[in-house]
Amino acid sequence: MDIARFIKKKSYEKIELVLRRHVITFLAHVFLFALLMLAPVIFYFILKNLFPGIFEMEIIYIFLVLGTSIFYMTAYLLFFVHFLDYYLDLWIVTNDRIIDIEQFGLFSRTISELDLFRIQDVTSNVHGFFPTMLNYGNIHVKTASSNIDIVFRNVRDPNTIREQLIKLSDEDRKFHYKQDKDENQ
């Protein structure tokens, strides 16, 4: 994926981190999709054993094929929507800002950004057995402003990322305060 499509980098800006949700969070959707793919096959064998002559009637056979086709297309569409939501949710951390890209369904995307020097607090949360064992969790980035808080959901190694964000924020704060000081003199 070309990150430049989502952001316009400043001349001094370089990308430090590109974060996505942990792949294990998508596996539940894969498992559900596999179950949905097996459901019509199981239904076919149940019908064939309970009503042996049902597939010989042409009109019933046509409706079963049509219903199965609609079922499979719906299952594929739902899986595709969940995959897009997983794949296109993205957090980009540069040496100057954080860009939060959130995909909602097929036709809705929200992109917000936050300057690193405005960060007041960075908190990482890991709750549950699987998140603890696989080391993934949420990172909450808070500012003094009440309207912009960014949450990195289910990212890999949240404590290390939290430390990197704090370090980048301190470096950016020093850069901006030095610039402000030079402008005032």
pLDDT in tens, 152-178: 999 999 999 999 999 999 999 888 777
Three-state SS at 68: helix
Which pLDDT tens digit goes with each residue over 8-67? 788 888 889 999 999 999 999 999 999 999 999 999 999 889 988 888 889 988 999 999
Model-level pTM? 0.80
pLDDT of residue 6: 65
pLDDT at 146 > cutoff 70: no
Fold adopted by 17-180: PH-domain like (2.30.29)
* Range scoring the smallest mean pLDDT among 21-35, 66-80, 121-135, 143-157: 143-157
pLDDT at 134 > cutoff 80: yes
Domain positions in the chain are: 17-180
pLDDT of residue 9: 81
